[in-house]
Structures are given as C-alpha cells and as structure tokens.
A and B are shown apart, each in its own frame.
Chain A
C-alpha cells in the first residue's frame, strides 16, 4: 500500500493529538514534545492501518519528523515488495 508523508502526518495529528499545522517536518521529535505513550500509539496505528511491522529499533535514529516519516515510508515500500 502506498503511503505518503501527508498520510503519516495526518495520523500523528489525530493520534497524539496535535494541531496539524504544528507538525513541521523539519522539527525534531523532541521539540514536538510528544509523550512516549502517544508515540507508541502512533506506531501502532501506522502498523494497523498499513499492515506494517515497525520495531523500536527501526525508528531509534529518527531525529526529525521528516526522518521518522522517511523511515515509515521506506518500511511500507519494503513491505510491498
């Protein structure tokens, strides 16, 4: 299933919840102040919606929102193969 950056940002906006306009892709995950339990729910919602498996290991190096989005899109592409 194809998945766009917008899809991921929309989902984060709903799950956290956080204003969509606050989700600047260049922002660091730290600066967005998303609670760890909310981030766990985001990852689960992504897995559920797009039939992915995202390990903590996969996203541990993501520093920015864009970095996180790129990793998820890459996982989705890999899953399609």
Chain B
C-alpha cells in the first residue's frame, strides 16, 4: 500500500447514543444481535391534541445523563437543546475512553469539528409555538444560544476546556463524515494533536417530523437497505463522537489506539438538491481510496449510506459497481441505518464507528428487514445474522441532500 500522508491519525476514543442504545458497547451489542432501535412512535407536541405526530422512528428515550453530571455538575445539561445534550453525552464517553478529560493536551492544539444538519429544533419550535400559537410577546432569552447551529461544539469546548479551532460543519447527511475528514486533515497538516469530531441531530420534533414527511422519503414500514420493496428512510436521532489523535502523540501518552482513520474523499454532485447522482459518489470513493493508499484489489467492508430509499440504494449500488466492477463481489456491504435509523448530522459518525468496530472485531452487523434481491441493488450484503469477517479496510459512505458526498476510509490496527 502506498501512503499519501506523513502523519497517521489514530482513533483513541468513541462515544455514541441513538435509538439503538446508549454507549458504544451497548450500540455494538445491539447491532450484532440484529436488533433495531426503530419502533412505533406516537407523540403530541406540547401535549396538545391539535399537534399529533406518529409513525416509526429510532428515538432516544431514558437517556442516562449521570456520567455527564458526575463529571460536570448537576446543571451541566440544564440549558441545552437535545441536540447538544446528545452531543455532550456521546463526547464525554469518547473523551473518558481517550483518557483526555482534564488533560493538558486540551489546549490550543485540540480542535472540535462537529456535524449538525439543522440545529436546536426543539428550542426553535418551542419559541415559535409561544409566538404563533400562544401569542406570547417574547421567547426564552436562551433561545439563540440553544438553537444556533454551533451550540453543540460550543458546549463541548466550554465543558472540556478546548481552546483550539471549534465550529460546526453542516452538510446534511454528510455533516459528521465531513467533520471526521476535516479533523483527520487538521492532524495530518500538523495543525492539531487532537480532534474531537463527530455529529448529532435531534429532529424527531413536531416540525422536524412533518418536514421530513413532506419530503416523501420516509418509510412507514421499515428501513430495508438495498432490498426489493424498500420504501424509504426512517428518522433517527442521537450523536456519535470520535477522538482523533496524531499517532505519535497517542503513543507517547500511552493511549489505546482503537483504529486508524486512513483517508477521505469528498465531492459535490452539482446536480440536484435532493436526488443523488452517481458520478459524485464514484469520485468521492475513488478519492478516498487513493488518499488512504488502498488499491482496488484490496477487499473492503463497505458501510453504505444505504438509506433504504428507492433512489439512494440503486444509485449507490451503481457507484460501487463503477468503482469496483466485478471486484465488488470481494467486498461486503453493511447498512446500519436499518438499526439506528437516519441520524442526519450524526449519521456518518455513528456508521463510521460501527464500521470501525466491525473490522477491528471481525464481525459484520447484519442488514435488517431484507425482503429479497433487487436487480438494481446487486451488491454483496451482510444478510441474516452477524457474521465473521476479515477485512483490513473500511469504506464508509455518506451522500447528502444537496449532492454533498463524503467517504471515509479506516484501517484495522
């Protein structure tokens, strides 16, 4: 393999919360057990029968905030929108694992790049409810700091005492994949020793739900990636965080290295605001493989974008076939949105974490809800039960609305 980068980028911490579970280990256990966090949901906004929303979703319930409060005080999460709460919960887990909380490395040499697709939906909807429904003259004075798109990484910076570059990356479903990629580049370029990266979303709200429903891309039955009879995506929520670290920095402080971020590639379709176009996916995958120095002959585990929509899955299949040709049959595709739903801003990060665990632990979580082959989705899928695998390389795809594509490559350590 030809490496294009001088510096290697290690993963030294991971954290996750979603409808599938809280904590990376619980998430992994549920994923390989073939469980799904997608279940029926029936809610009323503001307990008002005029505002019902229901369907299937992978929602978070009974969030355990004690680990955060034990570290940062009982009011640590008091003034945060759910999108920031999820971000903090996942990030504290990742930072605990990395052994970096309170560490001197969290200075100017640490950066936070966090993917959020929309922002504090709960907060903005409560504010608009006051204004338009209750006809109140004012909104809560913390509305802006709670709903602003950069609220989540701001909270992380304050909480961890990180003084380096911090901002939100917003590219819809690719947000957190772009964030991981940019964190990797910051470390490679020598501009940071540590990058706290990942993403979050909390749009299972009344307005968020109806907005997604209006796109007419949501399934009312199940998320069935690459299956005949698939009828759409299923909304999820939550957050996933990785601590990336300069390899030498991690080794020097004796950190456990959990995997390597080996490369990334990105592209834009320049085509349509919602429809994917395969050319962009192809160029992003080729760029990521080249960046990581992975030859096309090397078998890879593909963590597909795999939304379960008619269009995404056949377009992604065509793109994979264009990149790999018949060699695609040496690869294996996982599609974990069938388990944790679509986390939008957090999707790329939670899928990357599960993919990294899969190559590290040599087990592929199964693609769920498969009804049978679709000739337009002819890729080798990890169907049935979790299976033993042996891939050194992970390719993790994120293809967002707007035609914004981000592909990550990880290598087993």
Which residues of chain A have a CB within 8 Å of any CB of chain B? 35, 37-38, 40-41, 43-44, 47-48
Contacts and interface: CB of A to CB of B under 8 A. Distances in A.
A35 B140 contact: no
A44 B75 contact: no
B47 interface: no
B190 to A, nearest CB: 37
Interface residues of B, number: 8
Contact of B78 (A37, A43, A47, A48): A37
Judged by DSSP, the binding face of B is loop
Contacts, number: 20
A40 B142 CA distance: 8
B274 interface: no
B88 to A, nearest CB: 15
Interface of B: 75, 78-79, 136, 138, 140-142
A47 B138 contact: yes
20 contacts: A35-B75, A37-B78, A37-B79, A37-B142, A38-B75, A38-B78, A38-B79, A40-B141, A40-B142, A41-B79, A41-B140, A41-B141, A41-B142, A43-B141, A44-B138, A44-B140, A44-B141, A47-B138, A48-B136, A48-B138
Closest 10 CB pairs of A and B: A37-B79, A40-B141, A44-B141, A44-B140, A35-B75, A40-B142, A37-B142, A47-B138, A38-B75, A41-B142
A48 B75 CA distance: 22
Nearest to A56: B141
Contacts of B138: 44, 47-48
A43 B100 CA distance: 37
A9 to B, nearest CB: 19
